[in-house]
Structure 1
């Protein structure tokens, strides 16, 4: 944790907060999102291209030794969770209709 302006430790962000932040960015890019909270499993962000409903992906947020990252469902990193714009750009590109 890092100190904020008041000198107290900033609260740690949660996996769900990271996914919600990415979801907001993806909605601005025209994608549809739904936060999925399955019992006994990690939450994920289900993302769909509304113009081609077959183009979907489940995005995860996981913390490792080097910080929080967004991950594809096939266990490949997308971008650091602190770079939401870069993550949203990559997801939008992959789900784009070509």
Structure 2
């Protein structure tokens, strides 16, 4: 927990909240998304370009020593979870049909 501007502790955000926030940003960019909740595994965000369904990816969010980060399925960082617009732009660019 971290203090907010009132001096009280802000509640910790969950993986689902981070994924839903990224999902909303990606929908605004024209992507289709769905949160997946596999049994016994961390949730992920399945993202698909509706113009080319083969262009799809599963995005993860993990907390490390330096905060929460969005990750590609191939274990490469996308952007800090605090920079949801940056993350959404990068994902949309990688999944672009042109």
Category of TM-score, reference length = shorter chain:
over 0.9
Quote the Cα distance in structure 2 between the aligned partners of 1:5 and 1:70.
Answer: 25
Q: Give the corresponding residue for 1:84.
A: 84
Considering fraction of residues, name the structure with more strand: 2
What's the CA shift for 1:62? 0.3
Quote the Cα distance in structure 1 between the aligned partners of 2:90 and 2:41.
Answer: 25
Q: Which runs of 4+ in 1 moved over 6 A?
A: none
TM-score (norm. length: structure 1): 0.96
Deviations 1:30-54 (A, max 9, x none): 0000000010001000000000000
* 1:57 aligned onto 2:57: yes
User: Unaligned stretches of 5+ in structure 2?
Assistant: none
User: Unaligned stretches of 5+ in structure 1?
Assistant: none
TM-score (norm. length: structure 2): 0.96
